[in-house]
């Protein structure tokens, strides 16, 4: 039978580390066994009820200074020993809780957890282990400490030198969804023909639904994924493989001018195969004032394709500073584009205030939603691989 002195030695050694969450009650049981006592015996010795002793042993009641003195007298130890046991146990429990807090903090630093759960992109109402596994699957990483791989060229209103967690989450979602869309093999030699056919649809909102099947015919997948809160992302271009480009739009600004500019902007990225390799050369050392050359080029060519620069300059010279609605509509009809596209370009050139002729800036979401794979605005795409997330 173990002696009291041996018991004290074991206890003192264990209290040197707070990593082991031993219940102080376990040591009380050991002392009872060493002395051959029952819980009733200890209750009689210290003048407590059997219920109190049982709660001490089960950990439902902690050891305070009074209890420490009682146990010290009963088992011929010091009160400090019992107080140290209680402190060590509480520290171990707190340490375990802090580790969980650290794990949660790491997850929340990777993706906007609550919004992704609300959108159905990751698991919710699950254990921390399952939540971490769900985030890893979503980011396509084997370990939460791994950095997700992003390969794209993006149009956004935030700094180009960094990707916010909301952007990364949106990118990953669009990558997963794009594989669900079918399209012909992309042939870059047909790009001019594609642009010609596409611009024929730029004058009437009723033709917007024809855009996704037209792009698919030319080998380009397009999808609409609602942006995440506080992100200012308009769209992105990436490649599933060298023959399969994808355009993803957020429709963040539900205006026809923004839709057409962003769409053509992303198609220009495909023309030059921007975003086929993502590395520090593409988006590093850039800020709002230092836009990557590929983004400047896409902006310039998109504007030029929609309305040739010399035509826009001629219109401005003839009508500045009074841009009457009828004249704008007449010019747009001559160019084969919607009047809202003309208004958008005039506003970006600061020829018009942002509140002028706003009625011509019609929305597009109601016309394009459902014409291709759409995720957001109340619609949710349930991917098979996500069904195991809990």
Taking Cα atoms as reference points, which of 153, 148, 164, 281 lies closest to residue 232? 164
Q: Phi, psi (5° rounding) for residue 236? A: -155, 155
Q: Record the tokens describing residue 387, joined without a space.
A: 């069904």
Rounded to an integer, what distance in angstroms lies between the CA atom of residue 48 and that of residue 46? 6
With vertex at residue 257, the alpha carbon angle to CA 255 and CA 260, rounded to the nearest 5 degrees, is: 105
Number of neighbouring beta carbons within 10 Å of residue 172: 20
Please report, in tens digits, the pLDDT of each residue of the chain (390 residues total): 445 565 665 555 554 444 345 789 999 999 999 999 999 999 999 999 999 999 999 989 999 999 999 999 999 999 999 999 998 888 888 777 778 888 999 999 999 999 999 999 999 999 999 999 999 999 999 999 999 988 765 555 555 444 589 999 999 999 999 999 999 999 999 999 999 999 999 999 999 999 999 999 999 999 999 999 888 899 999 999 889 999 999 999 999 999 999 999 999 999 999 865 433 333 332 344 567 888 999 999 999 999 999 999 999 999 999 999 999 999 999 999 999 999 999 999 999 998 899 999 999 999 998 899 999 998 888 885 544 444
Rounded to an integer, what distance in angstroms lies between the CA atom of residue 242 and that of residue 387? 29
> Is the CATH code 1.10.3720.10 the one for domain 4-101?
no
CB 375 within 8 A of CB 226: yes
Q: Give 376's DSSP letter.
A: B
Rounded to an integer, what distance in angstroms lies between the CA atom of residue 195 and that of residue 205? 17
Residue 235 pairs in a beta bridge with 155, 249
CB 337 within 8 A of CB 205: no
pTM assigned to the model: 0.74
Residue 11 pairs in a beta bridge with none
The residues spanned by each domain of the chain are 4-101, 153-386
First to last CA, the chain: 50
Outline where DSSP puts E strands in 230-285: 233-241, 244-249
């Amino acid at each position: 039978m173990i002696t009291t002195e041996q018991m004290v030695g074991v206890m003192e050694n264990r209290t040197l580390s707070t990593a082991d969450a031993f219940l102080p009650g376990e040591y009380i049981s050991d002392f009872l066994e060493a002395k051959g006592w029952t819980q009733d015996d200890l209750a009689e010795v210290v003048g407590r009820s059997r219920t109190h002793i049982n709660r001490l042993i089960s950990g439902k009641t902690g050891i305070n200074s009074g209890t420490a003195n009682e146990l010290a007298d009963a088992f011929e130890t010091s009160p400090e020993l019992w107080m140290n046991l209680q402190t060590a146990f509480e520290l171990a429990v707190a340490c375990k809780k802090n580790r969980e807090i650290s794990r949660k903090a790491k997850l929340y630093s990777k993706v906007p957890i609550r919004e992704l759960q609300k959108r159905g992109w990751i698991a919710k109402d699950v254990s921390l282990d399952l939540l971490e596994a769900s985030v890893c699957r979503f980011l396509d990483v084997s370990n939460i400490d791994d950095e997700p791989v992003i390969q794209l060229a993006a149009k956004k209103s935030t700094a180009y030198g960094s990707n916010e967690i909301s952007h990364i989450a949106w990118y990953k979602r669009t990558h997963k969804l794009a594989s669900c869309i079918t399209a012909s093999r992309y042939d870059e030699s047909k790009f001019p023909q594609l642009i010609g056919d596409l611009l024929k649809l730029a004058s009437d909102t009723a033709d917007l639904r024809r855009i996704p099947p037209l792009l698919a015919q030319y080998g380009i997948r397009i999808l609409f994924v609602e942006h995440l809160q506080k992100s200012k992302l308009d769209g992105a271009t990436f490649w599933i493989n060298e023959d399969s480009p994808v355009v993803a739009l957020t429709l963040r600004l539900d205006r026809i001018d923004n839709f057409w500019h962003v769409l053509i902007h992303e198609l220009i990225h495909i023309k030059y195969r921007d975003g086929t390799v993502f590395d520090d050369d593409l988006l590093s050392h850039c800020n709002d004032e230092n836009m990557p050359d590929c983004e400047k080029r896409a902006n310039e060519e998109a504007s030029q394709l929609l309305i040739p620069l010399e035509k826009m300059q001629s219109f401005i010279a003839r009508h500045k500073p009074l841009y009457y609605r009828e004249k704008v509509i007449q010019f747009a009809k001559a160019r084969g584009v919607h009047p809202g596209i003309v208004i958008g370009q005039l506003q970006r050139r600061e020829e018009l205030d942002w509140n002028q002729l706003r009625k011509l800036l019609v929305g597009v979401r109601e016309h394009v939603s459902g014409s291709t794979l759409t995720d957001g605005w109340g619609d949710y795409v349930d991917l098979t691989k996500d069904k195991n997330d809990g």
